[in-house]
Structure 1
Amino acid sequence: MTQPVTIGDIVENWTPRPHPLSNPQHHILLGKYCRLEVFTSTNHIVIQQLYHTFRPTEETHFKYLGYGPFKTVDEFKHFIYMEEQS
């Protein structure tokens, strides 16, 4: 029988922190030069914009990735949806 691995000392009265997405104030982070937002398959406008930014003819964007380029925006949407499910 294997013994559990102990990484460090036990911290008394420790409780896990809530996941950042459980707090709506963390869903959109605005910076000086960019905006970070939770990406979901329901954000159709952003999906359309991303698809047009990374056109299927620009294979250099996907050269070292295990996916893409996507021939249609529906193929891209399906990929995003499947990634969310995993």
Structure 2
Amino acid sequence: MVRLENVGHDSGQLGPNGSLVASPNETMIYIGVGRAKLYELLNSNEIESYVEGSSRKILWPSIHAYVHRRLQQEAARRGRAA
């Protein structure tokens, strides 16, 4: 889980356009998954999000953390350090 107090102005924690949050469509493109897989990740709390009005917002730091975890898992599976 990403703690917001740990999110600074580090560009590695922000999205490509400098925002702190992404839409579901941006997230699907960025991590290369479909809508069903994205919502599976959201429902299992692999990626954090919240609803603002009628729009779902997904935290870029959470997206980056998910990708990092997946890279570590893949490296471990292959017997290499990430």
* TM-score (norm. length: structure 1): 0.28
Which structure ranks higher in relative contact order (CA pairs < 8 Å, sequence separation ≥ 6)?
Answer: 2
Task: Write 1 or 2 for the structure with the bigger share of strand.
Answer: 2
* TM-score (norm. length: structure 2): 0.29
